[in-house]
């Protein structure tokens, strides 16, 4: 006689976005791939940004759960074991807050396993850079500059590590800067001046191409990265594609989910 199969739920946690098109291409794409890979499990969604959830509810009439709401629903639906997979890029403040929220429920399920963000190990860093280069195909005639979010959290150091990896791979004309931390666009402008190139391609280094991509990166205001670089004399183009659109990036998230599932099996 075999034991009854346990009800396992997968909670995919994202910051969220108010841009429906990029949501479909990134967050929903990741969720759909998880459903396809794990048809025996129930897949749930939570977004950590209350501001975005409220905006989507007011504009579209769509209610999206926060982390604790989603876990409460999973409990009500009879889930016995939970796997939480964040789509966060780094192990920063959002991920820490998510983990705290999840652990409030540790005694309400038989077991909970939490997957890791995109950039967690050195292997992750290298796989992500390879995926980005494969997708973007940088040219020798241009500078390719990515905009990361950036944070005051110590995890911000990963952006410096990524720039070192790029240089180790011989990608002297590819840079990653941040909109809210170090390195900033000013640092990239200084480095770009040494490269003797006239063309710049800008792209977001964020899961979705949302407000930062459309406004801070590609906007027409004088303080956007596009405007700043155009003032420096560069011919600027923008490739507004979120990281979630890259197959290689989604593959890394799937690897992290598989690891979280292995951890869950250990606790049975």
SS3 category, 155: helix
The rounded distance, in Å, linking the Cα atoms of 23 and 19 is 6
CA distance 209 to 205: 9
Give the per-residue SS3 of 124-175.
Answer: HHHHHHHHHHHHHCCCCCEEEEEEECCCCCHHHHHHHHHHHHHHHCCCCCEE
Task: For 159, list phi and psi in degrees, rounded to 5.
Answer: -65, -35
The stretches of 141-221 forming alpha helices (DSSP H) are: 158-168, 185-192, 211
Q: Are 79 and 111 contacting, i.e. CB atoms less than 8 angstroms apart?
A: no
Residue 149 annotated among the catalytic residues of the structure: yes
DSSP 3-state assignment of 193?
A: coil
In degrees and rounded to multiples of 5, residue 145 shows phi and psi of -120, 125
Find the distance separating the first CA and the last CA of the chain, reported in whole Å: 18
Q: In degrees rounded to 5, what are phi and psi of residue 91?
A: -85, 65
CA angle 244, 249, 251 (to 5 degrees): 115
The C-alpha atoms of residue 81 and residue 65 are separated, in whole angstroms, by: 19
Catalytic residue among 41, 88, 149, 256: 149
Strand, helix or coil for residue 16: coil
Phi, psi of 119 (to 5 degrees): -105, 90
Q: Report the alpha-carbon distance of residue 44 to residue 30 in Å, rounded.
A: 12
Active site residues: 149
């Amino acid at each position: 006689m075999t034991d009854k199969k346990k009800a396992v739920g997968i909670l995919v946690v994202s910051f969220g976005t108010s841009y429906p098109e990029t949501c479909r291409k990134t967050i929903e794409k990741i969720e759909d791939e998880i459903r396809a890979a794990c048809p025996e499990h129930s897949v749930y969604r939570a977004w950590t940004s209350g501001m975005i959830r409220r905006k989507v509810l007011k504009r579209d009439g769509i209610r999206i759960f926060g982390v604790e709401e989603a876990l409460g629903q999973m409990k009500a639906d009879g889930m016995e074991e939970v796997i939480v997979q964040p789509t966060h890029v780094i192990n920063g403040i959002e991920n820490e807050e998510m983990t705290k929220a999840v652990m409030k429920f540790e005694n309400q399920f038989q077991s909970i396993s939490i997957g890791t963000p995109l950039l967690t190990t050195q292997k992750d860093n290298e796989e992500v850079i390879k995926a980005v280069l494969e997708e973007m195909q940088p040219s020798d005639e241009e500078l390719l500059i990515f905009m990361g979010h950036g944070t005051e959290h110590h995890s911000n150091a990963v952006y410096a590590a990524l720039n070192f990896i790029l240089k180790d791979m011989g990608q002297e004309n590819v840079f990653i800067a941040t909109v809210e931390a170090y390195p900033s666009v000013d640092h990239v402008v200084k480095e770009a001046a040494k490269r003797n190139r006239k063309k710049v391609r800008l792209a977001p280094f964020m899961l979705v191409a949302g407000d930062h991509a459309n406004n801070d990166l590609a906007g027409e205001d004088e303080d956007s990265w596009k405007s700043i670089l155009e003032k420096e004399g560069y011919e600027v183009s923008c490739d507004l594609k979120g990281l979630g659109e890259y197959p290689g990036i989604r593959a890394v998230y799937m690897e992290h989910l598989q690891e979280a599932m292995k951890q869950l099996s250990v606790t049975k």
